[in-house]
Each structure stands twice: as C-alpha cells, then as structure tokens.
Amino acid sequence: MRDVRMRGFAQRMDVEEVERLLRARLAQVGPDGGSGAPLGAEPVPLLEAAGRVLAEAVEAGVDVPGFDRSAMDGYAVRGEDTFGATDYGPLTLDVVGESYPGRPFDGTVAPGQAVRIMTGAPVPQGADAVVMAEVCQEKQGRVEVRDAVSPRKHVGPAGEDIRCGDLVLREGRRLRPQDVGLLASIGVPSVACVRRPRVRLLVTGDELVRPGEAPGGARIADSNSPMLRALIGRDGGEVSVEHLPDRRERIRAALEAPGADVILVSGGSSVGQEDHAPGLVAELGSLDFHGVAMRPSSPAGGGRVGEAHVFLLPGNPVSCLCAYEFFAGPSIRTLGGRAWRWPHARVRLPLLRKISSQVGRTDYVRVGIEGGKVVPIATSGASILSSTVRAAGAVIVPRELEGMAEGVQVEVLLYGGVDELDLPAVSGAENAG
Amino acid sequence: MRDVRMRGFAQRMDVEEVERLLRARLAQVGPDGGSGAPLGAEPVPLLEAAGRVLAEAVEAGVDVPGFDRSAMDGYAVRGEDTFGATDYGPLTLDVVGESYPGRPFDGTVAPGQAVRIMTGAPVPQGADAVVMAEVCQEKQGRVEVRDAVSPRKHVGPAGEDIRCGDLVLREGRRLRPQDVGLLASIGVPSVACVRRPRVRLLVTGDELVRPGEAPGGARIADSNSPMLRALIGRDGGEVSVEHLPDRRERIRAALEAPGADVILVSGGSSVGQEDHAPGLVAELGSLDFHGVAMRPSSPAGGGRVGEAHVFLLPGNPVSCLCAYEFFAGPSIRTLGGRAWRWPHARVRLPLLRKISSQVGRTDYVRVGIEGGKVVPIATSGASILSSTVRAAGAVIVPRELEGMAEGVQVEVLLYGGVDELDLPAVSGAENAG
C-alpha cells in the first residue's frame, strides 16, 4: 500500500477573479483577434437558422415589397378621379380588370378607370391610390365611389418594409423566429453563423455505470453527463461524451486529442490521489485556476490544453451543476457568440427566511418559491442532486455579503420557464395570467 | 368578370372570449378526458428527454446512494475508537485497507482498525464514521488520529439523496437538465412523455415564392412559414409544411387529411373572395371564431376539422405572429402538456412615450428598450415584419384600457433572452452584470 498525500487547496481564487481570467482568455482567441465571437463562421440554411448567431451582418439585396401594394381590398384608381365623391354624390369609374396577389393587372389605369384589387396585390400602372371596398358599389362593369381618396392612400410603397441596401440584421444577432421570416422575405437561402462550440465531455470514475443502466452494489449511475449534455445543448454547444476509467494515460489521451473547443472533465477534479485531471492539465498546458472561494464547487478548476478551454467539474452533482453554470456555460456561450450572462429567466421576490453565508465566499443557494416568497432549501449537501430538482431556482450570494436577511428582495435564477411559475398575473390579458 | 361580394367582419369576438373558448375545447379532448395533457404518452430515451413533458410520475426504484458513502477523503473508523483523540494526544489505528469509489473494501473494520477512504466511496462494514484526512497522519500501515469523530460523522447514509419509493418527479413536469441527471441516478433508461403535437402548416398564396428563393416581379417570399416553424419548435410541436395554391379543393384536401393535431393556415384567412379557408373549416367541421377585437390580427380565426384544432392566421407577417402567439401557440403548448401562458422572458420597465389604444380592443404593441425605458415602435402596419425585428419585445394593452400613459411600468414580453438585454446589473455576481 502506497503512502498517500491527502491535502486541501492551498488557496482559493475568488469567483470574480476566475470570471475575469476566463473572459480575458476568451477575448484573446479566435480568427478576428477578439471582438465578437471567437469561433469561425459556417453557412447555415435558412430553415435551420433560428437560434443561431449571425457571424456577419445581413444587408437586403431587394426592396420589400418589391412593388407598390394595396393595403386594402378595394379599387385601384387615380386619386384625382375621386375628388368630390361623397355619399350623396358618388362618382362612377369603369372597372377594367383586377389585381390579385401574384396575379397583377398588366395594363395601365387611365383616367376614369378602376381596377378591382385585393390586399397585398400590386397597384397597377397609372393608379396611385386604393378606394376601400366598403365605400364602393360595383355593378355591370362600373363602380360607384362614395368617398374621395388622395394619391398614395391605402398604398404601401415599394420598400416600405425593407429597402434594398438596408442593414437588416447585425453581426452577433441570435436569430429569432421573426428574423428568419425577414431573411426569407429578402430571398436569403442561407446565412453565415458562428460555428457551434465543440464540447468534449469526459466522464471519469470507476464507480460509474452509464446513464440508463441500473446502479447497484458500490456502483452509482453517471448522473452528471445527461445533465451536462442538456446544459451544453441549451448553451449552443455540440457535445460528445466519453466515459473513461480513472487511469491517467486514458485521461491524458482524451485531453490531448484534437478537435475540441472545450473539454469538460466531470469528476476527479480535486486534489485526491485519484484526481489525475488537474495535474495533467498543468502538464499538458496550463492550469489557470483550481480551487475557488465558493460553495458548492470549491474544487472547480480550469485551464488550457492546446486550443481547448478545459474545465474541471467536481463529481458531486450539485457542484458539477454550479461549476458548469459559473464557468463552463458562460465560456461555451461566449465562444459561440452568445452572451456570457446566465440565460435563466429571473424573478425578484422577497426572502421568506434568511440565507447565511460568509464574506469572501460566493454561495449558490437552491431555493423554492412558495406563496410568492423565496424559500432557501435547507440541505447544503453538494451530493444531493434531488435538491436541485425540488428547487425552483438559485440565488447567488455575492462575496461581499455575509448573507441575506429575511424579507429582502432577491433575484432568483429560475431553473424552468416563467410560464411554469405559479405567480399572480401582472398584466391584463389572459396570457399573462 | 364576376360580381364580387367584399365585406368586413359582421362582429368581432374579444380576445378573452376566444381564449376561454380554446381552453374549454382543449380541456375536452384527449385520452384521459381533460386533466393534464390532452395528447397521449410515448417512451422517450433518457438522453433525449430534456425539455420533454412527463406523462407519468416517476418513482425511485432504488436508494441513492445505494450504500453509506464517505463525504470526505480520510479514514473510515469506528467512531468510538477515536473518542479522546486530540492534537496533543493522538490515537493510533491500524490501516487495513482502502475504499475507493467503485472499489470498496470488502472486509469488516474491527476495533482499533481504519480503512483509507475517498469521497464518495462506500463506508466499509464495521466502520460508522470518517475522520478527515487533514487531522490524520499515516505512517507505515498505521494512522495517527488527532480529532475525535462521533458515529455517522462525514457519512452520507444510503438513501440520503433519494429513497426507494420516493416520488421524484410529477406528471406534467417539463424535464430540466438536473431532472435528467436525477433520472439517470435512479437507473431509468427511458421515461413516458407527452407526445409532441403534430402541426401541419398550410401556406397559401399564389404570389409566394418558397423560403430561400428570390422574390421578384409581383411575387413575394413566404416569410411566415420559416417564422412559424421556429415558433412551433419553441412550443414543442413537430411541424410539416405544405405550400398550396389558392385553390379551394387543394386547401380542402389538406384540411381533411388525417394525422394532424393542429393545422395552421397562413394566409387566405379573411373574408375576401380568395379566402377559402374560413368557409371550408365551417363546412368540414366548425368555425368557432373568425374576426377578433384586436390589433393587429383582427381577421384571425379558428375551429375544428375532425380531431384537428385549426387556426387561421392572417397573411400579413405581424398579424401572423400575433395570431400565433395569442391563439395557436398556447393551444400547441397545452396539447403537449406545457403551459398556456406565454413563454417569453419578461421585464417591467417604465414607458418613455404613451401608447394609444381603444377600449374594447386588445393591442399587441411592438416596443424597443432604450436606456431602461420602453419605447413603442411608431409603425402600426401589420405588413411591416421588420418592425418585429427592430423591436425588443411586445406590450399587450388589454381590452379595458384606452392606452397606457407615459411613465407607467409596463411588462414587456421579450423576443430574445434576458441575457441579450443591455440592462443594469441587479445582483452582485459578475454573471448578473
């Protein structure tokens, strides 16, 4: 039996210090030297572009609409032909054709003429206004007009939505459903988007059975990798998972293999004798932080191996979640052109019971929401994954505070959507209720 | 040339009335007669389950952990053997083996003995406590213990996270990343989830070119279907898209074809002569509403054809977005077991300029956010998709109000994530900044 060195961390970095370090490191890399997304661009077909981040600004190459269009169902006319028309003194025009969306009237509207027109259809040559159907009466090829319209009335001019040459979407925009609609409206078949970060997830631990397999005896299930997969997906990463034995050479090979933008190591991240990863990262690249003044997740670490940003996530599931959210998640999002900021929906509500912490340490506190108040969940065990399942979200107690008093308003980072919260309605419509 | 009837809507239903009608209709359908999700269940593999909705509650079939585990690196001992140990008077125990995660010590710890143990490893038979490595010194097969531990100290008992038989997740839960981790921890290979609603999207309009093709002449691009695809995906639906000419028989066939839980008709939904869909829905099933007291989207409609919930979405892109958000989206979410409530992140901020509306009409107002204030976007044109791209979100002016005054706090339903907003920091840590 070997003699074993068992020790704690000599010193811990502050959360803010680690965040500054990571942000500085992320700003250095990438093809363009830093501003914007560090990763390169790839073409993405229009129908797959929702949620992706634009790598380049998009300019319109066409007017939208490309023609003057009718904003009403009615009759396209020369406005001046209607001057003087009233309920008591209607004017009569000859109906010489019709204009439908996609099937325009090909002729020209001459003085004394009108063309029946549908909403969205091109306004024919010669006409400069549309009379609403409601003030017209059509009989035997003629239409009685009972109201005057000035030129341009009810006509949406070419380019009223978008003008050719307009900058319609900026670089860095995360595409929303309507953005994709807009791209379609200018006839764009694909757009240049920031490549999704490639994340290699290394799961170490001889005691682990694969997700979906039954734990038993001294073996427990790997619960971290399914959780991390979902988190990485949320943050726009593409994940590959490798389960590795606690053997130094296997972990070394997986750290050194090319092709990953980010490597997450789940488990074996601390300072015990089976914790190979920290030493390997230091040996193969640089171990930039290891040991953080936070609870949970104090054994979290990170550094670089080659081009890959490496994060060491403690094996305890709550610590793993917390270390991911503070360090790995923001880095993955930033690499992919998204925001460093946490993506959680937030609510501000009063604390039902005080939260105790320590000055100099950042705490990630799981909380419930009951009757519109925030309830800290009693357990502090980093091994109790079920506490994060019972929780509605987390409250972060910053380093400067020794806690938060009962009754103060705190911001809850929600684990689910706001639509899942049972909160009182805040606005009139049913949808908000 | 035919004589044409062109008319407006005889009367319009209130938004709330339509919402009540839809919710009542959704509560009637489904295998279980209404409560919970209307659609049936399907097994979903664990690794695909994040974001899905549980159709059945999940009970744990095992304890987690399945054994007493060490919460520390140190030595597993009989607590009473350490009683009296101090810095000045250490006690010495024989080290008889080691327990690693997944590689437990198979023997029994007898009085006077200790087993070297790692965090997470099974506590061996005989031992009932763990002494932290920091207060121990191991030399030549013996360990000096300089602090006493009471029985159960630093031992996480079997079942401390989850007990066999515990209800770990309720029916209707939308699975979060940590939920999937928890399911893995109890060895579940797949879970019964609510089937995703099958949404058939019918795009009508002879003037439309397909998304990705260039518009030109009198033809414009179909911008609604790419937008709706993304929205349906957001709401958990599975979408299939069919582009149809403005021909009654083609639209009839697409409405009657089996297999859809929801049918959306984009365009041709109003009361013009080319608007076939409303009449067909009335003929083939029931047209439950058509014409709503709202702006935009007043020509929106809906009903049933067979088992399918049908929604008529106006062709103007802003109206289409608005009608989807008010009626189709909530229905799709509800069918799939999600919340009726809008899923948008929300912020409450003061209005920079007043919003005018009318009592009796619900308005969906696109707004920007500038310097922490809400700025209504001037254009009211339902055809101006670019206004929803420039907007940060929407404010809903309920029917009871004739507007909202400058300076009042309003709730903005955000089009993007909160992480994309440039708002002042609200909590101490960097992540909130």
Q: What is the pLDDT of residues A141-184, one digit of tens each?
A: 999 999 999 999 999 999 999 999 999 999 999 999 999 999 99
Three-class SS state of A409: strand
Collect all residues of chain B within an 8 Å Cβ-Cβ radius of residue A433: 341
DSSP secondary structure, A13-52, as one string: B-HHHHHHHHHHHHHH-STTTTSS-SS-EEEEEGGG-TT-
- Cβ B122 vs Cβ A216: under 8 Å: no
User: Is residue A32 very low, low, confident or very high in pLDDT (cuts 50, 70, 90)?
Assistant: very low
Q: Is the pLDDT of residue A219 over 80?
A: yes
Q: What is the pLDDT of residues A96-122, one digit of tens each?
A: 999 998 899 999 999 999 999 998 899
User: Is residue A205 very low, low, confident or very high in pLDDT (cuts 50, 70, 90)?
Assistant: confident
Q: Is the pLDDT of residue A45 over 60?
A: yes
Q: How many CA atoms lie within 13 A of A252 on its CB side?
A: 8
- Whether A176 sits inside 8 A of B230 (CB atoms) is yes
Percent of chain B's residues with pLDDT above 90: 78
Chain region(s) in chain B for CATH 3.40.980.10: 15-38+195-335
Residues 6+ apart with CB under 8 A from A204: A244, A245, A246, A251, A265, A266, A267, A268, A276, A277, A315
Q: Does domain B346-432 have CATH number 3.30.1490.190?
A: no
Chain region(s) in chain B for CATH 2.40.340.10: 346-432
B405-422: b or e for each residue (b if 16 or more CB lie within 10 Å)?
A: eeeeebbbbbbbbbbbbe
Specify the pLDDT at position A8. 60
Measured CA to CA, the distance from residue B28 to residue B286 in angstroms comes to 15
Specify the pLDDT at position B383. 79
CATH architecture of A15-38+196-335: 3-Layer(aba) Sandwich (3.40)
- Whether A428 sits inside 8 A of B399 (CB atoms) is yes
pLDDT along chain B (433 residues), means of 10: 49 94 83 58 97 97 95 95 95 96 94 95 97 94 96 95 96 96 96 98 90 89 96 97 93 97 89 83 96 95 96 94 98 95 92 95 95 86 86 96 96 88 48 36
Q: What is the pLDDT of residues A3-20, one digit of tens each?
A: 344 446 778 999 999 999
- Whether B121 sits inside 8 A of A338 (CB atoms) is no
Q: Is the pLDDT of residue A341 over 90?
A: yes
User: Is residue A275 very low, low, confident or very high in pLDDT (cuts 50, 70, 90)?
Assistant: confident
User: Is residue A425 very low, low, confident or very high in pLDDT (cuts 50, 70, 90)?
Assistant: very low
Show the tokens assigned to B177: 């990343």
Q: What is the pLDDT of residues A222-270, one digit of tens each?
A: 999 999 999 999 999 999 999 998 899 999 999 999 999 999 999 877 7
Nearest CA in chain A to B214: A187
- Return the number of CB contacts < 8 Å for A and B: 421
Percent of chain A's residues with pLDDT above 70: 92
Specify the pLDDT at position B429. 40
- Cβ B198 vs Cβ B261: under 8 Å: yes
Specify the pLDDT at position B382. 77
Collect all residues of chain A within an 8 Å Cβ-Cβ radius of residue B223: 181-182, 184-185
Nearest CA in chain B to A65: B220
Q: Does domain B69-156 have CATH number 2.170.190.11?
A: yes
As a whole number of angstroms, the longest Cα–Cα distance in chain A is: 111
Q: What is the pLDDT of residues B154-183, one digit of tens each?
A: 999 999 999 999 999 999 999 999 999 999
Helix axes B224-234, A177-185, angle to 10 degrees: 160
- Mean pLDDT, chain A, as a whole number? 90
Specify the pLDDT at position B190. 97
Specify the fold of B41-64+160-194: Molybdopterin biosynthesis moea protein, domain 2 (3.90.105)
Three-class SS state of A412: strand
**Cα B408 to the chain's mean position, in Å?**
30
Collect all residues of chain A within an 8 Å Cβ-Cβ radius of residue B386: 64, 161-162, 166, 168, 182
Collect all residues of chain B within an 8 Å Cβ-Cβ radius of residue A180: 226-227, 229-230
- Whether A185 sits inside 8 A of B221 (CB atoms) is yes
Collect all residues of chain B within an 8 Å Cβ-Cβ radius of residue A273: 118
- Whether B119 sits inside 8 A of A272 (CB atoms) is yes
Measured CA to CA, the distance from residue B177 to residue A225 in angstroms comes to 10
Specify the pLDDT at position A34. 41
**CATH code matching the domain that covers B15-38+195-335, chosen among 3.10.20.880, 3.40.50.1820, 3.10.520.10, 3.40.980.10:** 3.40.980.10
Measured CA to CA, the distance from residue A338 to residue A363 in angstroms comes to 25
Of A207 and A39, which is predicted with more confidence? A39
Q: What is the pLDDT of residues A283-336, one digit of tens each?
A: 999 999 999 999 999 999 999 999 999 999 998 899 999 999 999 999 999 999
Collect all residues of chain B within an 8 Å Cβ-Cβ radius of residue A186: 215, 221
Q: What is the pTM of this model?
A: 0.92
Phi, psi of A430 (to 5 degrees): -55, -40
Three-class SS state of A228: helix
Specify the pLDDT at position B29. 59
Nearest CA in chain B to A207: B102
Chain region(s) in chain B for CATH 3.90.105.10: 41-64+160-194
Is ipTM > 0.85 here? yes
Q: How far is CA A183 from CA A191, A260, B111, B388, in A?
A: 9, 31, 76, 13
- Cβ B131 vs Cβ B82: under 8 Å: yes
Give chain B's length.
Answer: 433
The candidate with the shortest Cα–Cα distance to A381, out of A290, A315, A292, A319, is A319
Please tell me which of the candidates B176, B396, B426 has its beta carbon nearest to residue A411: B426
Please tell me which of the candidates A45, A122, A341 has its beta carbon nearest to residue B218: A122
Nearest CA in chain B to A168: B386
- Whether B383 sits inside 8 A of A179 (CB atoms) is no
Of A124 and A9, which is predicted with more confidence? A124
- Cβ B110 vs Cβ B134: under 8 Å: no
- Residue A204 neighbours by CB distance under 10 Å: 25
Chain region(s) in chain A for CATH 3.40.980.10: 15-38+196-335
